Amino acid sequence: MEDYIVSATAAGGTVRAFAASTTNMVKQAAEMHGLSPVASAALGRSLTASAIMSKMLKGERDTITIQIKGDGPLGGIVVISDSNANTRGYVHNTQVELPLSDEGKLNVGEAVGKNGYMNVIKDLGLKEPYIGYVNLISGEIAEDIAYYFASSEQVPSVVALGVLIDSDGSVINAGGYIIQLMPGAEEQMIRYIENTIASIPSVSAMLAYGETPEGILDIIFGEKDLKINSKSRCAYLCNCSRERMERNLISLGRAEILSIMEEQRSAELQCHFCNSKYQFSEEQLRTLINEL
């Protein structure tokens, strides 16, 4: 199945919902970064959340960044998505290994840690980006994203994110959904959503059964005037380039570049998001100094 996101409304427009299949995106990230199973699950959930939340952006050049920093051995997570759901990300410690949880699941909460914070940064083309800051409540990602929506944006939300990992550590499937109550949502609709969510399988299980993003939303809202409004692709895509790396070097300043030349003769910069390496010879560093 291709990776894509659908957006929809239900209950006469008083509920909006997004659902995504992100298996290829998460699989590519896991292989690219050489992630352990629990690191794959943590980054995969975060990438999926970022991709879905990008569909809430309005401007063509808007971007959203999610930064998660807990006290667990994973160290932290950074994911970025543009308004077209081109998404990239990384974790600080790629090789975290932990025992399974009491329920027999990958222990993402312990890997991330419950003590820490989540930043959601929206660059909307204004003078300053919007930054929402919340403390972590579980480290499981989905619960923390839901808490962010309720606390920072005052939008009651249900967030479900899943990554299913095979016994060999490879990604079987990944996806998620976000459901949000709009003004005018009735109390009985809230109870309906709560009861339905509690009774349906997990995202990973539904994807494993062959459900599509549309099918998942239909399971939840089939009786409640579900209307699919759009379907759009999502992908893992890094926008790094030699020119960007040059700008990063220049930002260090003349003195720092001179120090690199004296100590190392050359420089190698590596992109955190895709692991691409960029080499700068002594002559090229000298050219950058002359430009400064």
Confidence of residue 208 (pLDDT cuts 50, 70, 90): very high
Confidence of residue 141 (pLDDT cuts 50, 70, 90): very high
Q: Are residues 147 and 270 in the same domain?
A: no
Per cent of the chain over pLDDT 90 is 75
Number of domains in the chain: 2
pLDDT (mean) for 94-112: 91
104 or 51, which is more confident? 51
Q: Are residues 125 and 62 in the same domain?
A: yes
Give the domain CATH number at 253: 3.90.1280.10
Domain range for 271 is: 242-291
290 or 123, which is more confident? 123
Task: Say if residue 1's pLDDT is above 80.
Answer: no
Whole-model pTM? 0.93
Q: For the segment 239-250, what is each residue's pLDDT rounded down to a tens digit?
A: 999 998 888 888
**Confidence at residue 92, expressed as pLDDT on a 0 to 100 scale:** 97
Q: Are residues 181 and 267 in the same domain?
A: no
Are the C-beta atoms of residues 165 and 41 closer than 8 Å to each other? yes
Q: Are residues 250 and 126 in the same domain?
A: no
> How far is 42 from 101, CA to CA, in rounded Å?
14
**Confidence at residue 32, expressed as pLDDT on a 0 to 100 scale:** 96
Q: Are residues 68 and 169 in the same domain?
A: yes
Q: Are residues 171 and 252 in the same domain?
A: no
Q: For the segment 48-82, what is each residue's pLDDT rounded down to a tens digit?
A: 999 999 999 998 999 999 999 999 999 999 999 99
Q: Are residues 202 and 274 in the same domain?
A: no
pLDDT (mean) for 270-280: 92
Confidence of residue 224 (pLDDT cuts 50, 70, 90): confident
264 or 3, which is more confident? 3
Q: Using CA of residue 97, residue 102, residue 106, residue 111, what is the dihedral sign?
A: negative
Q: For the segment 149-198, what is each residue's pLDDT rounded down to a tens digit?
A: 999 999 999 999 999 999 999 999 999 999 999 988 888 888 999 999 99
Q: Of 220, 236, 252, which closes a domain?
A: 236
Q: Which long-range contacts (CB under 8 A, 24 or more apart) does 90-96 make?
A: 90/33, 90/43, 90/272, 90/273, 91/33, 91/35, 91/39, 91/42, 91/43, 93/39, 94/33, 94/34, 94/35, 94/36, 94/39, 95/34, 95/35, 95/36, 95/39, 96/36, 96/38, 96/39, 96/72
Report for 30-44, 234-248, 256-270: range of highest mean pLDDT: 30-44
> How far is 217 from 20, CA to CA, in rounded Å?
10
H or E element at residue 224:
none
Q: Are residues 247 and 230 in the same domain?
A: no
Give the domain CATH number at 62: 3.55.30.10
Q: Of 195, 212, 236, which closes a domain?
A: 236
Q: Are residues 20 and 40 in the same domain?
A: yes
Q: Are residues 184 and 250 in the same domain?
A: no
**Confidence at residue 235, expressed as pLDDT on a 0 to 100 scale:** 97
Q: To the nearest whole number, what is the mean pLDDT of the chain?
A: 93
Q: Are residues 172 and 256 in the same domain?
A: no
pLDDT (mean) for 229-236: 97
**Confidence at residue 273, expressed as pLDDT on a 0 to 100 scale:** 94
**Confidence at residue 102, expressed as pLDDT on a 0 to 100 scale:** 79
Q: Are residues 222 and 165 in the same domain?
A: yes
**Confidence at residue 255, expressed as pLDDT on a 0 to 100 scale:** 85
